[in-house]
Every structure is written in structure tokens, then in C-alpha cells.
Amino acid sequence: MKSTKFFTRAFIISLLGMHIGLQAHAAVWTASNSWDQGWEDKYSEWVKTSFNEDIFVKGQYKGISTDCADAVYTSRAIFAFENRLPFVILDPSGGDSKISNKMSRWDGDSEGNKFREFVDYVNEMTDTKSLPRDTYPVAISREFVRAGAIWSRPRIAQKNFFSFLFHTTIKEDPGHAELVKDVTETGAIQLIGSTVPAAVRPLISTSSLVFMPVETTTGLRKWIQPSGYEQKPEQLPGYSMEQFKMGVPEVTATYGKNNAESVSSTPQRNIDTWSKEIQTRLQLRAEDKDEALQRYGTNLCNLVQARVDVIRKAEQARIALNGQCMNADDYDSYSTPSRDKRIVATIDQMVSVGGGFSFIPGGRLEKVKKFMQNCPPVQITAEKSLSLGDIASAYNSSKVSSNPNDSLEARWGLSATQSPNSCPTY
């Protein structure tokens, strides 16, 4: 989520830009090429080979701060900048106005500095809510689901009786977006992306799909080229709504008197069926059990290691408040319900594939822990580290807290019991 200060700064930049624009006319960069299928192929290859975990922590683009949507938009901007292609997105403030490389408000700086300022501006103005206007859903095939495609869901805000009565909003399932980094020959979608709060950080890699598209602004998507904004979505290459109909389990008929066939209820789409159908559509060969477990183990390691920095910053913020509760913005930045849900879902995937049967509580998890052993110790503080297996056990026992008002020990499931704090949740 972008905080109010970002939009205030963006507004000020906009006013300054109006003044500067009266005197300056130089674009951020001049586009000498145009997007076509050939450039889309090159963009896909660039994401696969060059848009790596360390792109914002070293090298030419070191120091760029990102959250999840920022990393997605910035990937497209970097490639366009380096290859003299146009970068055009809809202005999230509304209407049909555009944000593009032709903007001239940063005239006077070097081109590299102008690009940095432009990226900061784009990232302040955009989020997961703006992505649906700059992308469109695609058919599930290796032609369109490949490196450079977007995997996105918007923030879902849900109201209930109490939120209506007290004029508050209960937020759940925060918006998230990642880039497809690659699709393996077994059909697993490798993803790369950032997270919240916005910061300079290494990107996170995973192949863990733990949510399915539930409405048409979500899911696997492709960038709209500058000329595409003038076209109807169904006219764009690869446009398809099929992923929103996938994921319905097969129904086994039941038989009653007179051997009559009957189905008690219409089956609902579910994430397990959806994920398997996606992978089957994309695979060149089947994935065996050990491959799947090794992949899930790597996913789990990456997801947990990425959680460390968020919990560390949350603990610093909690201590600085000296017993006071976090406000809504800080709670939103430092709580981890979506992240923890993804970790739990990945553990469940491992157990489902390799856990077999056990009468012992936690016994099924123990059977797959050998696939977690390649993960280095998780350094939760300078003095203390935990094994991935121990963290998985804490999650499996529901000991891990997503609440940033809880202690660091509770956030990692180290407290014997979790004493509920009296702070509000948002």
C-alpha cells in the first residue's frame, strides 16, 4: 500500500512539473524503437536472464526502492529505457491521460538521474490496483505464460456490520504482484518479485501459486503495448478469460434408488485443482514426486528468508512505540497475514505430496523435512537462528503470529503461548 505521504509528494512533483514543463521540453528518454513481437521476445529473454534478485542492490540500478507492484512496473521501465522503447501506462489518477517517457518535468538532470526520478514517480503513482488497467489476461499456454508475464491480484477490502457501523474497513488478502521469471519443463511457474513495505531489497524467487484468480483483474497477465490502449481487450494478442473458469474439480456421480445418477451440489473452483490444471497445460513432461518436494522446499526457504527483514523492521517499530499500538498504516506495512498464508500453503503442499499417513501429530510434516535441509539457517536476530524445519513445525502448530504488535518471539512461534495484545487489528 502506498501511504498518504507518497501521494502528497507525487502531487507536489506534479505541480512542479507543470512549472518546469513551461521552460523545458526534454523527454526522460527518446524512443527510437517501437514495441512489436520481436521486442516482446527480447523483453521475455531479458527478464529470464537479467532481471535477477540483486538488480536493485548492486549494479546500475542499485538503490531503487520497491514494493511488489513497483518491481513489476520498474522491470518494464528499465527494459524500455535500455532499448529506447516507449514506456506508457495509464495515469492512475483517472481518465485516459498517460504517464510516459515523454514527460519533461525532470529536464536539466543527466539522463540516468532523470530515469531514476521517473521510476520513483511511476512507483509512487502505481500499485496493484493500477496494474489491471495496464495489463490483460492471457491464454494458458507457453506462448503467453512465459518470462515477463505478470502474476497479480489486487487488494481485497471487505466490509462487515461493524465496519459499516464504525465507518472502518477490514482489509484482508493484500494486493500482490510478481513477474514470471521462467516456466520449467515440468510446467512450474517461477516467479520473482518484491514485497511491502517499499524498500531497497533483494527480490524474492518462488514457484508457489497459493491463490487463484477470482475476478478478471487478477491472474496471469500480459503488458498492454502503447498502441494497445486504443484497442478492445479481446483484440490484443493472447487475450483469454479461460483461467477464470479453470479449477473446477471433476464430479464423481452418486447413484440412488433405481440406479439414478445424481450430484448433490455444484463443485466450486479450488486452488489445488486450478494449480494442477495450470501446470499440466504448461508442462513438457510430468514432474515427479521428489522434484515437486525439492521445489516446494526451495519455495519455503525463500519465503521464510524474505520474512526476516519484515519482522526485524516490525520489531524495531514496535519497540520505538514503547507500548503504544501501531496505527493502520504501520500495521498494514508490518503485519504478515498474506505472507504467512503463503508459507502455510507451501508447507501444506509439501505434506500433501510427501507426508503419507501418520498417527503421530506432526508426523506427516516430519516425513518431508529432509527436503528443507538445504536451506541455510534462518537468522532471525544477530544472535539467534532457526532451522527451516523448526519454523515449519511452529507454523504447523499455529504458533506463528502475523500481528506486528506482538513480540519478535511470538512472530516466530518461540513463545510458549501467545498472549493476545489489546491493540486493534486492521
Burial 350-388 (b: 16+ CB within 10 A, else e): bbebbbeeeeeeeebbbbbbebbeebeebebeeeeebeb
Q: Count other C-beta atoms under 10 Å from residue 14's C-beta.
A: 14
In a domain, 325, yes or no: yes
Is 25 buried (19+), middle (13-18) or exposed (0-12) by CB count in 10 A? exposed
The position carrying cell 520489531 is 315
CB 372 within 8 A of CB 389: yes
Question: In whole angstroms, what is the distance from residue 96 CA to residue 105 CA?
Answer: 20
In a domain, 311, yes or no: yes
* Residue 45 grid cell: 529473454
Is 79 buried (19+), middle (13-18) or exposed (0-12) by CB count in 10 A? buried
In a domain, 309, yes or no: yes
The pLDDT of residue 172 is: 52
The pLDDT of residue 157 is: 58
| Sign of the alpha-carbon dihedral angle for 280, 286, 287, 290 | positive
In a domain, 24, yes or no: no
In a domain, 82, yes or no: no
Question: In whole angstroms, what is the distance from residue 51 CA to residue 361 CA?
Answer: 42
CB 309 within 8 A of CB 201: yes
CB 281 within 8 A of CB 251: no
The pLDDT of residue 105 is: 87
The pLDDT of residue 164 is: 47
Q: In the chain, how many domains are there?
A: 1
The pLDDT of residue 17 is: 47
Per-residue pLDDT of the chain (426 residues; tens, 9 = 90+): 454 444 444 454 454 444 444 335 689 999 999 999 999 999 999 999 999 999 999 999 999 999 999 999 999 999 999 999 999 999 998 878 999 999 998 877 789 999 999 999 999 999 999 999 999 999 999 999 999 999 998 666 555 444 445 455 444 556 899 999 999 999 999 999 998 889 999 999 999 887 888 889 999 999 999 999 999 999 999 999 999 999 999 865 455 555 555 544 567 888 889 999 999 999 999 999 999 999 999 999 999 999 999 999 999 999 999 999 999 999 988 999 989 999 999 999 999 999 999 989 899 999 999 999 999 999 999 999 999 999 999 999 999 999 999 999 999 999 865 567 889 988
Q: CA angle at residue 95 from 94 to 100, to 5 degrees?
A: 85
In a domain, 38, yes or no: no
Report the predicted TM-score, pTM, of the whole model to 2 decimal places: 0.85
CB 61 within 8 A of CB 55: yes
In a domain, 358, yes or no: yes
Q: Count other C-beta atoms under 10 Å from residue 251's C-beta.
A: 11
The pLDDT of residue 419 is: 60
Domain extent at residue 355: 288-420
Q: For the chain, what is the HEC assignment?
A: CCCHHHHHHHHHHHHHHHHHHCCCCCCCCCCCCCCCHHHHHHHHHHHHHCCCCCCCCCCCCCCCCECHHHHHHHHHHHHHHHCCCCCEEECCCCCCCEEECCCCCCCCCCHHHHHHHHHHHHHHHCCCCCHHHHEEEECCCCCCCCCCCEEEECCEEECCHHHHHHCCCEEECCCEEEEEEEECCCCCEEEEECCCCCECCCCEEECCCCCCCCCCCCEEEEECCHHHHHCCHHHCCCECCHHHCCCCCCCCCEECHHHCEECCCCCCCCHHHHHHHHHHHHCCCCCCHHHHHHHHHHHHHHHHHHHHHHHHHHHHHHHHCCCCCCCHHHHHHHCCHHHHHHHHHHHHHHHHHHCCCCCCCCHHHHCCHHHHCCCCCEECCCCCEECHHHHHHHHHCCCCCCCCCCCHHHHCCCCCCCCCCCCCCC
In a domain, 369, yes or no: yes
